[in-house]
Structures are given as C-alpha cells and as structure tokens.
C-alpha cells in the first residue's frame, strides 16, 4: 500500500469561536482537501472556553484535582471537533471526529502538562483511506492509567505538529487570528512587520520570550522532525509565515 501523507491543518480557538467561524474553517478545509486529497484537521476549544472552564473549576475549589481538571478541559476541544465534522458533512464531505485517545495519542502521566510519548496513527490512517476528513481534538492524549491528560496551554499546536511528524505530512498549516508571525506582537505594536519565512531557532527564541503564536514545545518538535509550518490567518486570505530550516 502506498503511504498516505496528509496535509495537517490546525485551527486555534478564535478560528472556531462561533458557528460562522466553524463554517468558515470548514470552507478552508474543503478547499485544501481538493488540493491535497488527504487532510487531517486539529482544532482547539472554541474561543475562551478553556479559560472559562478553568475559572469554573476555581469557583468550586481553590485546589482542583488535576485528573478532574484534565477531564474538564478536554471537553472544550470535543465541542469543536464534533461541530466541524457536522459542518463538513453538511457541505457534502465525509468527515469523522476523533478525541486525542481515539487518534492514538499517548502521553505521560503528568496531568495538565503531559508530554506526548507515542502516536499510533492506525485509526487516523484507516479513516483517511476510506476517504474521510479526519478531525482530531487538540491538546489531549491518554496516559498509561487510561486517563485523559492535557498537553499544557497552547497544546493544540503540539498535537498538530506531532501528527504532521508521524504522518510525514508535506506541511502543517496553523490557522490563527493574525496573518502570520510578526517581528513582535501585532496586537500590541501596530508597526510590527509580518515575516515571510523564519527558522525554527528564530521561532523558538520568539516563543521563549512570550510570543504565544506558536507553543514553544511544538516548535521544538517541528525542528526535530523537520515539519514545515505555515502560520496564517483563517479570516484573511493572504500568504502567511513559513517556518522551516
């Protein structure tokens, strides 16, 4: 059997914050599916869902149990995968949503900031071979105790990059609320300049000094496996920033 090398796309929280944004994300996926044939989509929780869930937990207890915290936070991403799958089906595409565990993502036992230990992509590949668009919940995996764990804030970036590495994707597209990586945060500094390309090390440096546009750990994994990243806006069609060697 020939290897399947799907495009991996990731949509951050603002890109799936409302029903209209979910439909917009589905339209972008449809377009890329026509181009790449096989597509895996990773999504974050809608909008501020994760922050709101953390806030709720802290209204109940000052010291939430970390296992229960992960159980709670993992629900956010499940809202997005199901709604995006429905949107794609409505557009006439076969799509299937998978949680992190269903996608074969195994993690260590450190709750709320687990590391991915391995990925068994068999289930994803089975659905891709059947012609389906596979939609995976970001930010989550299953640990050796069969408990759900989350991968730390911004962890959907890591899910996307790790899947792109395992599936040997030609590239990993990160759709967000800015048009790419800028010299500095464009929301704070209007004169910030968009960069066409940057190296992994430059992006690591920026992530290290607080640029949340890409989670630092995900950039480390991209560098290690040579995953080409393309950071772009889900709302404005314009060339983004390519991160490569």
Chain residues in the site for ligand ASP (CB under 6 A): 12-13, 44-45, 50, 76, 138-139, 153-157
DSSP, collapsed to helix, strand or coil, labels residue 39 as strand
Of positions 83, 206, 227, 229, contacts ligand ADP by CB under 6 A: 206
Residue 24 region, left (φ>0) first, then alpha (ψ -120 to 50), else beta?
alpha
Paired tokens of 72: 């709670």
**H or E element that contains 45:** none
For residues 245 and 243, what is the distance between their CA atoms, to the nearest angstrom? 7
The residue (of 132 and 240) whose beta carbon lies closer to ligand ADP is 240
Helix axes 216-225, 200-208, angle to 10 degrees: 160
The option from Mg ion, ligand ASP, ligand ADP, none interacting with 76 (CB < 5 to 8 A, set by class) reads ligand ASP
For residues 153 and 53, what is the distance between their CA atoms, to the nearest angstrom? 13
Give the residue at shortest CB distance from ligand ADP: 12
In this structure, the number of other CB atoms found within 10 A of the CB of residue 116 comes to: 23
Site for ligand ADP in 133-162 (CB under 6 A): 154
The option from ligand ADP, ligand ASP, Mg ion, none interacting with 187 (CB < 5 to 8 A, set by class) reads ligand ADP
CB of 107 to ligand ADP, least distance (A): 19
The residue (of 155 and 216) whose beta carbon lies closer to ligand ASP is 155
Which residues of the chain form contacts with ligand ADP (CB under 6 A)? Answer: 12-15, 44, 154, 176-178, 181-182, 184-187, 206, 211-213
């Amino acid at each position: 059997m020939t290897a399947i090398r799907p495009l991996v796309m990731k949509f951050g929280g603002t890109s799936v914050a409302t029903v209209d944004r979910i439909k917009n994300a589905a339209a972008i996926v449809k377009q890329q599916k026509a181009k790449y044939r096989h597509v895996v989509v990773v999504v974050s929780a809608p909008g501020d869902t994760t922050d709101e869930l953390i806030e709720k937990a802290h209204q109940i207890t000052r010291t939430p149990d970390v296992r229960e915290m992960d159980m709670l936070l993992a629900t956010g991403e499940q809202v997005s995968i199901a709604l995006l799958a429905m949107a794609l089906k409505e557009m006439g595409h076969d799509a299937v949503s998978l949680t992190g565990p269903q996608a074969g993502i195994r993690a260590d036992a450190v709750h709320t900031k687990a590391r991915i230990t391995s990925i068994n992509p068999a289930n994803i590949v089975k659905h891709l071979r059947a012609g389906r668009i596979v939609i995976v919940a970001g930010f989550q995996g299953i640990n050796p105790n069969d408990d759900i764990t989350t991968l730390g804030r911004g962890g959907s970036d890591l899910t996307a990059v790790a899947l792109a590495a395992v599936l040997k994707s030609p590239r990993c597209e990160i759709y967000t609320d800015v048009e790419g990586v800028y010299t500095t945060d464009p929301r704070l500094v209007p004169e910030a300049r968009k960069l066409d390309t940057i190296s992994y090390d430059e992006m690591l440096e920026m992530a290290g000094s607080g640029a949340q546009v890409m989670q630092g750990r995900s950039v480390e994994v991209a560098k290690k496996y040579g995953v080409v990243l393309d950071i772009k806006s889900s709302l404005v069609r314009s060339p983004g920033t390519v991160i490569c060697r």
